[in-house]
Protein backbone atom coordinates (compact mmCIF):
# COMPACT_ATOMS: atom_id res chain seq x y z
CA UNK A 1 0.00 0.00 0.00
CA UNK A 2 2.98 2.34 -0.41
CA UNK A 3 1.57 3.62 -3.70
CA UNK A 4 -1.35 5.19 -1.87
CA UNK A 5 0.88 7.67 -0.01
CA UNK A 6 1.48 9.68 -3.16
CA UNK A 7 -2.23 9.77 -3.96
CA UNK A 8 -3.05 10.85 -0.40
CA UNK A 9 -0.60 13.74 -0.73
CA UNK A 10 -2.19 14.72 -4.06
CA UNK A 11 -5.63 14.60 -2.43
CA UNK A 12 -4.34 16.71 0.46
CA UNK A 13 -2.94 19.31 -1.97
CA UNK A 14 -6.21 19.49 -3.92
CA UNK A 15 -8.20 19.80 -0.68
CA UNK A 16 -5.88 22.55 0.56
CA UNK A 17 -6.22 24.42 -2.74
CA UNK A 18 -10.01 24.01 -2.82
CA UNK A 19 -10.41 25.18 0.77
CA UNK A 20 -8.27 28.27 0.26
CA UNK A 21 -9.76 29.06 -3.13
CA UNK A 22 -13.37 28.90 -1.99
CA UNK A 23 -12.88 30.59 1.40
CA UNK A 24 -10.23 33.23 0.68
CA UNK A 25 -9.72 33.83 -3.02
CA UNK A 26 -13.30 33.51 -4.29
CA UNK A 27 -15.94 33.83 -1.52
CA UNK A 28 -19.10 33.44 -3.58
CA UNK A 29 -22.22 35.44 -2.71
CA UNK A 30 -25.21 33.60 -4.17
CA UNK A 31 -28.73 34.86 -4.78
CA UNK A 32 -30.81 31.91 -3.58
CA UNK A 33 -33.82 31.26 -5.84
CA UNK A 34 -31.81 31.55 -9.05
CA UNK A 35 -28.37 30.38 -10.17
CA UNK A 36 -26.80 33.81 -9.85
CA UNK A 37 -23.91 35.14 -7.79
CA UNK A 38 -20.94 37.44 -7.40
CA UNK A 39 -17.39 36.71 -6.18
CA UNK A 40 -16.27 38.80 -3.20
CA UNK A 41 -12.82 37.35 -2.46
CA UNK A 42 -9.24 38.55 -2.74
CA UNK A 43 -9.07 37.91 -6.48
CA UNK A 44 -11.99 40.29 -7.04
CA UNK A 45 -10.09 42.96 -5.12
CA UNK A 46 -7.15 42.58 -7.53
CA UNK A 47 -9.40 42.82 -10.61
CA UNK A 48 -9.30 39.24 -11.89
CA UNK A 49 -12.20 38.63 -14.35
CA UNK A 50 -15.21 36.72 -13.07
CA UNK A 51 -14.80 33.97 -15.65
CA UNK A 52 -11.27 33.18 -14.40
CA UNK A 53 -12.42 33.29 -10.76
CA UNK A 54 -15.25 30.84 -11.48
CA UNK A 55 -12.93 28.56 -13.41
CA UNK A 56 -10.42 28.47 -10.54
CA UNK A 57 -13.18 27.54 -8.10
CA UNK A 58 -14.55 24.77 -10.30
CA UNK A 59 -11.06 23.38 -10.91
CA UNK A 60 -10.58 23.05 -7.14
CA UNK A 61 -13.84 21.19 -6.59
CA UNK A 62 -13.41 18.90 -9.60
CA UNK A 63 -9.75 18.30 -8.70
CA UNK A 64 -10.77 16.99 -5.28
CA UNK A 65 -13.32 14.69 -6.92
CA UNK A 66 -10.82 13.40 -9.45
CA UNK A 67 -8.16 12.74 -6.83
CA UNK A 68 -10.72 10.82 -4.73
CA UNK A 69 -11.52 8.61 -7.73
CA UNK A 70 -7.82 8.03 -8.32
CA UNK A 71 -7.25 7.28 -4.62
CA UNK A 72 -9.95 4.59 -4.61
CA UNK A 73 -8.64 3.19 -7.89
CA UNK A 74 -5.11 2.95 -6.47
CA UNK A 75 -6.43 1.20 -3.38
CA UNK A 76 -8.33 -1.27 -5.53
CA UNK A 77 -5.23 -1.89 -7.64
CA UNK A 78 -3.16 -2.53 -4.49
CA UNK A 79 -5.71 -4.98 -3.07
CA UNK A 80 -6.71 -6.81 -6.26
CA UNK A 81 -3.87 -8.55 -8.09
CA UNK A 82 -5.99 -9.14 -11.21
CA UNK A 83 -6.65 -5.48 -11.94
CA UNK A 84 -6.19 -4.29 -15.52
CA UNK A 85 -3.84 -1.60 -14.22
CA UNK A 86 -1.50 -4.29 -12.86
CA UNK A 87 -1.45 -6.13 -16.19
CA UNK A 88 -1.00 -3.06 -18.39
CA UNK A 89 0.85 -0.22 -16.57
CA UNK A 90 0.28 2.18 -19.48
CA UNK A 91 -3.47 1.92 -18.88
CA UNK A 92 -3.11 3.53 -15.45
CA UNK A 93 -1.17 6.46 -16.92
CA UNK A 94 -3.82 6.83 -19.60
CA UNK A 95 -6.55 6.70 -16.93
CA UNK A 96 -4.81 9.40 -14.87
CA UNK A 97 -4.22 11.63 -17.88
CA UNK A 98 -7.81 11.28 -19.08
CA UNK A 99 -9.22 12.13 -15.65
CA UNK A 100 -7.06 15.20 -15.13
CA UNK A 101 -7.61 16.50 -18.68
CA UNK A 102 -11.36 16.08 -18.20
CA UNK A 103 -11.10 17.88 -14.85
CA UNK A 104 -9.43 20.87 -16.47
CA UNK A 105 -11.67 21.13 -19.53
CA UNK A 106 -15.20 19.89 -18.85
CA UNK A 107 -16.61 23.26 -17.79
CA UNK A 108 -15.02 25.45 -20.46
CA UNK A 109 -18.21 25.57 -22.60
CA UNK A 110 -20.23 26.73 -19.58
CA UNK A 111 -17.85 29.62 -18.97
CA UNK A 112 -18.49 30.89 -22.48
CA UNK A 113 -22.02 31.68 -21.29
CA UNK A 114 -20.66 33.69 -18.34
CA UNK A 115 -18.91 36.29 -20.46
CA UNK A 116 -20.21 39.77 -19.65
CA UNK A 117 -22.20 40.83 -22.68
CA UNK A 118 -25.74 41.84 -23.57
CA UNK A 119 -27.00 38.36 -22.72
CA UNK A 120 -25.94 38.79 -19.08
CA UNK A 121 -27.73 42.15 -18.84
CA UNK A 122 -30.87 40.57 -20.26
CA UNK A 123 -30.64 37.68 -17.79
CA UNK A 124 -30.18 40.09 -14.87
CA UNK A 125 -33.45 41.74 -15.86
CA UNK A 126 -35.10 38.30 -15.85
CA UNK A 127 -33.71 37.67 -12.36
CA UNK A 128 -35.33 40.92 -11.20
CA UNK A 129 -38.70 39.37 -12.03
CA UNK A 130 -37.96 36.50 -9.63
CA UNK A 131 -36.21 38.61 -6.94
CA UNK A 132 -37.93 42.02 -7.09
CA UNK A 133 -35.78 43.64 -4.38
CA UNK A 134 -32.27 42.11 -4.32
CA UNK A 135 -29.38 43.35 -2.22
CA UNK A 136 -27.32 46.28 -3.56
CA UNK A 137 -24.52 43.88 -4.53
CA UNK A 138 -26.76 42.57 -7.33
CA UNK A 139 -26.35 45.77 -9.33
CA UNK A 140 -22.55 45.51 -9.59
CA UNK A 141 -20.88 44.62 -12.89
CA UNK A 142 -19.39 41.34 -11.65
CA UNK A 143 -22.70 39.60 -10.96
CA UNK A 144 -23.00 36.49 -13.12
CA UNK A 145 -26.24 34.73 -14.02
CA UNK A 146 -25.34 31.07 -14.53
CA UNK A 147 -28.64 29.94 -16.01
CA UNK A 148 -31.74 31.96 -16.78
CA UNK A 149 -34.39 31.85 -14.03
CA UNK A 150 -37.09 30.66 -16.45
CA UNK A 151 -35.39 27.25 -16.87
CA UNK A 152 -37.04 24.41 -14.98
CA UNK A 153 -34.69 21.95 -13.28
CA UNK A 154 -35.84 18.44 -12.51
CA UNK A 155 -33.70 16.47 -10.08
Q: 119 in a domain, yes or no?
A: yes
Q: 71 in a domain, yes or no?
A: yes
Angle of CA points 62, 108, 53, to nearest 5°: 70
pLDDT in tens, 64-110: 999 999 999 888 887 877 777 777 878 888 988 999 999 888 888 77
> For residue 1, what pLDDT band results from cuts at 50, 70 and 90?
low
Q: Which residues contact 74 (CB under 8 A, 6 or more apart)?
A: 3, 4, 7
Q: Is the pLDDT of residue 133 over 80?
A: yes
Q: 7 in a domain, yes or no?
A: yes
Sheet strands (E) in 90-152: 144-145
Burial of 81 (0-12, 13-18, 19+ CB in 10 A): exposed
pTM over 0.95: no
Q: Is the pLDDT of residue 8 over 70?
A: yes
Q: 155 in a domain, yes or no?
A: no
Mean pLDDT of 58-63: 92
pLDDT in tens, 31-48: 877 778 888 899 988 989
Q: 78 in a domain, yes or no?
A: yes
Question: What pLDDT sits at residue 147?
Answer: 67
Amino acid sequence: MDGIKKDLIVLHCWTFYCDNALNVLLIGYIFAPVFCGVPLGVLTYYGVPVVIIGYLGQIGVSGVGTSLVILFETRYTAVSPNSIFNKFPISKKLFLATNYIYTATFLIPAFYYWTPDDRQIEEKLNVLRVIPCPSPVFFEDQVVVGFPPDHTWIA
